[in-house]
Structure 1
Amino acid sequence: MLSAVALTAALAAPSALAGEQHHDFGQATLTGWASLPAETFVPGSEPSGAAIGAGPFNGISAPFADQPVQGFSGIVNRHDGTYDVLSDNGYGGKANSADFLLRVHRVKPDPQTGKIEVLGGFNLTDPDHKVPFALTRSDRTLTGADFDVESIVKAYDGTYWVGDEFGPFLLHFSRTGKLLEAPISLEGVKAPENPYLNGGTPNLGGSRGFEGMARSVDGRYLYPLLEGTVAGDTPGDLRFNQFDLKAGKYTGKRWTYRLESSAHAIGDAIAVDKHHFLVIERDGGQGATAKFKRIYLADTRDRNDDGVMDKTLVADLMNIANPKKLGGFGETFTFPFQTIEDVVLLDDRTLAVLNDNNFPFSSGRTAGKADNNEFITIRLGERLHADPRALF
């Protein structure tokens, strides 16, 4: 990683965030926009969507002849102009997603043309029978009825770690999508879909597991962030756990991320340095009802001793300056999607952000029309003073 440090030596300056809680960063500026049409499918793939009904949904009828390229719920920067993006469980539920194959796509956004090219990808599979409970398919290709995958990081060894919401579980995959070990449970937390519930009472809402997951800048730890509040915790408080990749187990350390409203949800989380993490927080609105879509810088050190992570607003995604009128939008750009679930650090002041379009159900950009998958880059009002390793 010496070359990475050399390339970003300027980022190693002492952080302006090391003292008292920082003021808001001000208005971010749109620097790039690209879009993938909602009706984009994996060529030559299997039919999908048989359990969602005939529709039409936002003008689109089901089922589909092929697998949709949809629902980006996690992102990994490949540092060559392309990105790995993780599709979610399919159609929003265990019961209707058995014919949706879990997949990581490789995409290349081009802000100059405003288009996103799909270059390929790989399905997630379990050929070595690491999953101890029954799967949907005999060929052990994983589906949206098996796991609800919502977050992804790439370890320094090139393997992928994925956060699931049904368990919630941590899932460890090879570079080509083969499951490498049994799903790892979070002790004391079970969602209604958890296969080990055995008639017990869940203490987490349905599909409210690991919506976000960060990798520590040194590569040692994972930090999966629950989307929902565990029963007995303060409503709106989310557990942010630490998992030791070297030891292969949770350390027992955890912090609390407090939502601005218990009606909100998080969309993603990534590391900036040892103590700071970027977290997408959003309401459930879309289009005209979308009001709160923000990115916060959260600090685990809890400077004001209130028991929760300190938060600094770095970007309001409903109020982005667009002086160049990129994408054909006006001078104020909004990202009015129900689910915004991907953020990645491109440099010390630039973030890429993507939406999960919930194909074919969400219509935040244009009422009655299925949302595309949009990829935007925004320049923050101030530097993050990120650890150089956060970029790689």
Structure 2
Amino acid sequence: MYKSISKATLFAVVAFGFLSCNNDDDASVKYELPQIADSGVKLPYTVLKTENGVEVRNGGFGSAATAHPTNEGEFYALTDRGANIKFGSNKIFPTPDYTPRIGHFKLNTDGTVEMKNEILFSNPSGELISGKPNPEGYGATGEIAYDEDKVTVLSADKYGLDSEGLVAMKDGSFWVSDEYGPHIVHFDANGKQIERLSPKGIKGESGDRKLPAVLETRWANRGMEGLAITPDETTLVGIMQSTLYNPSKAEVADFTITRIVTFDIETGATKQYLHKQEKAKNSNSEIVALSNTEFLIVERDGAFTKDTNKSEVQKHIYKIDISNATDVSDANDTLNGKLINGNTIEQSTWDELTAAGIVPVTKTLAVDLIAALGDYPHDKLEGIWLINANTIGVINDDDFAVWTGNDSATIQKYISNTETNENIDGNTLYIVNF
């Protein structure tokens, strides 16, 4: 069962202990978790551009979150590829030269959040990358990027990332997963690419170090949505947002079948496990490690509570354990992966998988965020900051405060699909116990 925080608990002051001596602040000063109301606290933002009264914001810091590895009260939050608008099966990019980035934030003792700095991603030569799709052979999803005029086709970016998962290492470097390839990229402390891991068959610069080939069959725009590192910093653990289209969307038997992949940083060895979603086509939006085998994950739908019966909206955080799950890796690392009676895993039912001896990860509900807070008005719960052994901060992806209108126009994003006079959606930090 989940454990919700009462308002009294939220308003209590919780001492964390002394800060690491690596912190910029005085190490002799205790950091205390400040008072945060159920309504949360907004992250700061700037405006990238304003057109026809619509603000495109920077903003966007909510695709993932992770604790600063040494400084208590500080966290990192990740943007994705930048503001993008549906245009048929393609995308319009209102700010096409936007560089995906990490924001370094601090939760101050007065309950406000400040941005300490930004880390922009660059390629191995130190040139800033974009969020535009990859070219064919390098992890392309089939999407074509257009300028706002809906005519000009934007060039693809070999190093482009739709960044979604984030790990901060003690040496100052970062690992980031994405939705294109999907790729997992190692960046140095300044955001410069060190290594790029891609599924076997996708061109990259990691030599023989590859992700499983089957991940290339990801549902476009629902790739590796979350990334974690085990506490011993030996193993990356990524979670796919949704069911793979393996071998195609039309042949998927059950849209609750999703995959988790582990990558041994030293050896490059991988393993794969299955996770069963609560509802078909849900989104696994985040993963964070509690131990080498236990993790917190976000599983959510895409609904707003202002548009839907609140009891039907799902913004859940689960505790999962992979220790007794079956490794479903394919020994030959083929594009379609391990087969069950001649079918791919995604062509199989859970009954068929069970009969074949395949055990998914175990899961228990840790937090129902709507029940814990009384409401959670955002559609995209995507980031978890692990604060201590039983406290987390959660952050939403605000889509840079824009979304798609009926004519593929750029319109302001509010916390409802139907209203245009409510608060603009913004990255907001909430704190709960689990």
Same fold (TM over 0.5): yes
Q: Residue 210 of structure 2 corresponds to which residue in structure 1? A: none
Q: Residue 359 of structure 2 corresponds to which residue in structure 1? A: 307
Task: Tell me the CA shift for residue 206 of structure 1.
Answer: 1.4
Task: Tell me the CA shift for residue 156 of structure 1.
Answer: 3.3
Q: Does structure 2 conserve the Cα–Cα contact (< 8 Å) formed by 1:221 and 1:243?
A: yes
Q: Residue 210 of structure 1 corresponds to which residue in structure 2? A: 224
Q: Residue 13 of structure 1 corresponds to which residue in structure 2? A: none
Whether 1:142 aligns to 2:130 is yes
3-state SS, counterpart of residue 72 of structure 2: coil
Task: Tell me the CA shift for residue 357 of structure 1.
Answer: 1.1
Q: Residue 26 of structure 2 corresponds to which residue in structure 1? A: none
RMSD: 2.9
Q: Where do residues 161-240 of structure 1 align in structure 2 (5 Å cutoff)?
A: 161-181=175-195, 183-187=196-200, 203-232=217-246, 234-240=254-260
Change (3 A) 1:224 1:293: same
Q: Residue 429 of structure 2 corresponds to which residue in structure 1? A: 375
Task: Name which of 311, 329, 335 aligns with 2:376.
Answer: 335
Distance across 1 between alignment mates of 2:304 and 2:202: 30
3-state SS, counterpart of residue 319 of structure 1: helix
3-state SS, counterpart of residue 359 of structure 1: helix
- Unmatched tracts of structure 2, length 5 or more: 11-35, 134-159, 204-215, 247-251, 326-353, 403-412
Change (3 A) 1:27 1:223: same
Task: Tell me the CA shift for residue 345 of structure 1.
Answer: 1.8
Distance across 2 between alignment mates of 1:222 and 1:208: 19
Whether 1:279 aligns to 2:297 is yes
Q: Residue 92 of structure 2 corresponds to which residue in structure 1? A: 96
Q: Residue 414 of structure 2 corresponds to which residue in structure 1? A: 363
| One-letter amino acid of the structure 1 residue matched with residue 322 of structure 2 | T
Q: Does structure 2 conserve the Cα–Cα contact (< 8 Å) formed by 1:270 and 1:278?
A: yes
| Superposed CA offset, 1:108-154 (max 9, x none) | 234744x322222121111527xxxxxxxxx4433354210001101
Distance across 1 between alignment mates of 2:170 and 2:187: 13
Task: Tell me the CA shift for residue 365 of structure 1.
Answer: 7.2
Distance across 2 between alignment mates of 1:225 and 1:340: 15
Q: Does structure 1 conserve the Cα–Cα contact (< 8 Å) formed by 2:262 and 2:270?
A: yes
| Superposed CA offset, 1:264-283 (max 9, x none) | 10110011112211001101
Q: Does structure 2 conserve the Cα–Cα contact (< 8 Å) formed by 1:35 and 1:372?
A: no
Q: Does structure 2 conserve the Cα–Cα contact (< 8 Å) formed by 1:75 and 1:344?
A: yes
Whether 1:292 aligns to 2:297 is no
| Superposed CA offset, 1:334-382 (max 9, x none) | 22211111112212211111111112234227943321211111123xx
Task: Name which of 103, 106, 109 aligns with 2:107.
Answer: 109
Change (3 A) 1:348 1:207: same
Task: Tell me the CA shift for residue 215 of structure 1.
Answer: 0.4
- Unmatched tracts of structure 1, length 5 or more: 1-23, 130-138, 191-201, 321-331, 381-392
Distance across 2 between alignment mates of 1:37 and 1:357: 11
Task: Name which of 22, 32, 35 aligns with 2:41.
Answer: 35
Change (3 A) 1:144 1:374: farther
Task: Give TM-score, length-normalised by structure 1.
Answer: 0.71
Q: Residue 369 of structure 2 corresponds to which residue in structure 1? A: 317
Distance across 2 between alignment mates of 1:179 and 1:122: 12
> Sequence identity of aligned pairs in percent?
23
Distance across 1 between alignment mates of 2:173 and 2:427: 25
Distance across 2 between alignment mates of 1:266 and 1:218: 24
3-state SS, counterpart of residue 377 of structure 2: coil
3-state SS, counterpart of residue 100 of structure 1: coil
Task: Give TM-score, length-normalised by structure 2.
Answer: 0.64
| One-letter amino acid of the structure 2 residue matched with residue 242 of structure 1 | T
Count matched residues. Answer: 307
Whether 1:25 aligns to 2:2 is yes
Q: RCO (CA 8 Å, sep 6+): is it higher in 1 or 2?
A: 1
Change (3 A) 1:111 1:96: farther
| One-letter amino acid of the structure 1 residue matched with residue 386 of structure 2 | L
Deviates more, 1:259-268 or 1:303-312: 303-312
